[in-house]
Amino acid sequence: MDDFREIDVSEANALIQRGGVTLVDIRDPGSYAEAHIPDAVSVDQQSVQEFIQRADKQKPLICYCYHGISSQSAAQFFKENGFSEVYSITGGFEEYRKHYPPA
């Protein structure tokens, strides 16, 4: 089984702009409420099982955390739970928002 793939912020943004991706924010709910990538879904320990049951596993899934560390294990977890195409953003949300500030 293939593992997830790390992608940089420009590749992540290109996938997001193309559309048809699921974006998962695994930071704490307060940080998500403060700022997140548009259309991202906040997923935490309490909601992850429900998310896995409801999500379209054939759509590419991009997950991110603060700095791109925790999202690597989360991406692997999603891959192991049947998602076909999984990415983790290198540098996480902090790197992403340097290049693409939230509106």
User: Which residues participate in catalysis according to the annotation?
Assistant: 65
Spatial distance between the Cα atoms of 43 and 1, rounded to a whole number of angstroms: 24
Spatial distance between the Cα atoms of 7 and 13, rounded to a whole number of angstroms: 10
Spatial distance between the Cα atoms of 95 and 21, rounded to a whole number of angstroms: 19
- Tally: H helices and E strands in the chain: 5, 5
